[in-house]
Chains A and B, each alone.
Chain A
Amino acid sequence: MKRSDEAGYRDYVTCRMEVLRRTAYLLCRDWHLADDLVSITIGKLYWHWHRVAGVEHLDAYVRRILVRTWLDEKDRPWRREEPTDALPDVPAAPAHRVVERAGLLDLLATLAPRQRAAVVLRLYCDLSVEETAEILGCSAGTVKSQTARGLDTLRARAAEVPD
């Protein structure tokens, strides 16, 4: 990579680091793993930078790498999460049904990986259905259903949390 390209790469990565880390954390809820995912993602980006640096939807390209890297990690046995029937205790807001900080993340973690990715991409990254579908490699209809089911699950489980 030319030095000028490398400078552009460094600027881009530095500028997007915060949101990449936050997105990764929402997916995996582990800052160490989140930073690993981001490291792998920007490593892959470096590999292809000469080809993608000028593309219009670079952010979407990087998000796709990040999400797919995480989904790949989920497939590895030593990183596979154990499903649980019991939700952890979650503090509830006294006056109204607001899913608090830990509660939202706990609930998000109960979603299936692709549901979680759909919810994060749609609601946190504010992507359209079509953009989310492109990243997840599925149809727009699947994204709609994944997101809707994910939100339904979040609402339902939030309702189960005692006041």
Chain B
Amino acid sequence: MDRKMFDEAIGEVPPSTVDVDGVIARGRRAARIRRVANPWVATAAGVVAIAFGAVAVLLPGNQEGSVGAGGAPPAPMSTVDSSPVSSSAPTSTPVTCGGRTAVPQVPAAEATATSARLTSALTSSVQAALPAGSQLTANPTGEYPKGTPHGPLEFYYVFQPLVPLENGCQGGVSEYSAWATISVSGVQKGNLMALVTPPSGNSQPLACPGGTVADAQYSCNRQTGPNGEAILTSTLTQNGGGPTLYRVEVDRLDGTSILLDSANVPGDAKQGGRPASPVPSLTHQQLITIALGDGLTVGSR
């Protein structure tokens, strides 16, 4: 019994359905999300996504606009990317690059309305999950564009057009993001970051990356939601008593992709620092419940 015999047994090989370009596109997206939201990978890489006009992360900002658990969601502030990209109409000509198809820019009015709706939905569900006495306050990490603060869990729309380059692609981002610091009885305990991505046709099935993360303990688990949603839960704890981050990623049936991060530091876990509480304020299960909530969707599949 040898290799030739196995090959003969396999017979004719059907055309591959493995989408290498799609895998690369998803890998880029995951790397970008890690740069934005994953503290240690970003630190190792020494970069943030500012170069591509994504979430600004390093500048301190104000802490005004707090809202207590059970209170009303904040009124939306400026929620539309003011980067030098047309904000009045979708991209007219579909662009493809590296197996990805350009995602049209959401018109400004629609982005503003969607941001407000997501803000209301997320704020309500987070307040319901947090213990009494908890407060949500603005997180300076969520300044976007740079210098533009946002209220607690106030979504803002980020768009970067897909640009083919000589040796690859750049951009291709259309998503809603929100941040908040979580306090209990006036003491800052942790944070929450949300990323909601509309269906793009470029997504790949959720899968744990496997392997290890440098200078951190990492674990990941894939599960299926009550309606068949794909769910990844992961935990990242920086070695040496650093922050812990709980992450939940959900691919909803309507095509909406949701990423929720809860860390046990008030500002940005990327900056390290000592944990303000033993564990993040929201558990994986609470994050899953929030992600599967009725209002947290921008899909249309």
A residues lining the B interface (CB < 8 Å)? 1, 3-4, 6-7, 9-10, 13-14, 17-18, 21-22, 25-26, 31-32, 35-36, 38-40, 42-44, 46-48, 65, 68-69, 78, 99-105, 120, 123-124, 126, 151, 154
A35 lies within 8 A of B9 (CB): no
Chain B positions 218 through 249: 1 when the CB is less than 8 Å from some CB of chain A, otherwise 0: 00000010000000000000000000000000
Interface hub of B6, B13, B165, B168 (most chain A Cβ within 10 A): B6
Alpha-carbon separation in the docked complex, A93 to B140 (Å): 73
Give min CB distance, A93 to chain B, whole Å.
Answer: 12
Q: Enumerate chain A residues within 8 angstroms of B204, measured Cβ to Cβ.
A: 39, 43
> B91-133, CB under 8 A of A: which get 1 and which 0?
0000000000000000000000000000000000000000000
Closest to B223 in A: A76
- What chain A residues lie within 8 Å of B210 (beta carbons)? 44, 47-48, 65, 68-69
Once bound together, how far apart are the Cα atoms of A17 and B17, in whole Å? 11
Contacts of A25 in B (CB 8 A): 10, 13
**In the complex, are the beta carbons of B1 and A21 less than 8 A apart?**
no
- Nearest opposing residue in chain A for B17, CB measure: A35
B13 with A44: CB separation less than 8 A: no
Interchain CA distance A21-B163 in the complex, whole Å:
32
What A residues does B209 contact at CB under 8 A?
Answer: 43-44, 47-48
Given contacts A21-B13, A101-B11, A105-B9, contact A43 B18 (CB under 8 A): no
Residue among A43, A120, A151 with the highest chain B CB neighbour number at 10 A:
A43
Q: How far is the CB of B37 from chain A (nearest CB, A)?
A: 15
Could you tell me if A7 and B27 are in contact, using CB atoms closer than 8 angstroms? Answer: no
The total of Cβ contacts below 8 Å across the A-B interface reads 98
Q: How far is the CA of A69 from the CA of B220 in the complex (A)?
A: 13
Interface size class of B (residues with CB under 8 A): 20 to 34
**Contact flags (1/0) for B1-42 with A, using CB distance below 8 Å?**
111011111110110111110011011101100000000000
Contact among B16, B24, B30, B224 with A35 in the assembled complex (CB-CB below 8 Å): B16
CA–CA, A43 and B209, complex, Å:
7
Report the Cα distance A42→B207, complex, angstroms. 11
Residues of B within 8 A of A (CB): 1-3, 5-11, 13-14, 16-20, 23-24, 26-28, 30-31, 165, 167-168, 204-205, 207, 209-211, 224
Q: How far is the CB of A135 from chain B (nearest CB, A)?
A: 14
Given A17-B18, A105-B9, output 4 extra A-B contacts at Cβ < 8 Å. Answer: A1-B28, A13-B23, A22-B10, A39-B204
Return A84 CB to nearest CB of chain B, in Å: 20
For A46, give its contact among B6, B14, B24, B165 (CB under 8 Å). Answer: B24
A13 to B16, CA, bound (A): 13
* Cα A122 to Cα B65 with chains together (Å): 63
What are 29 A-B contacts defined by CB distance under 8 Å? A1-B31, A7-B167, A13-B23, A17-B20, A21-B18, A22-B6, A25-B13, A26-B6, A36-B205, A39-B204, A40-B205, A40-B207, A42-B18, A42-B20, A42-B23, A43-B27, A43-B204, A44-B211, A47-B27, A47-B211, A48-B210, A68-B210, A99-B9, A102-B9, A123-B2, A123-B6, A124-B6, A126-B3, A154-B1
Q: Are B24 and A31 in touch, CB under 8 angstroms? A: no
* A-side contacts of B19, CB under 8 Å: 39
| CB neighbours of A4 from chain B (8 A) | 167
> Which residues of B sit under 8 angstroms from A151, Cβ to Cβ?
1
Q: In the complex, what residues of A have CB within 8 A of residue B168's CB?
A: 3, 6
Q: How far is the CA of A99 from the CA of B9 in the complex (A)?
A: 9
Nearest CB in chain B: distance from A40 CB, A: 5
Query: A35, B18: Cβ atoms under 8 Å?
Result: yes
Contacts of B17 in A (CB 8 A): 32, 35
Distance of B188 from chain A, by nearest CB (Å): 32
**Chain B residue with the shortest CB-CB distance to A65:** B210
Task: Check A124–B207 contact: CB distance below 8 A.
Answer: no
Contacts of A18 in B (CB 8 A): 13
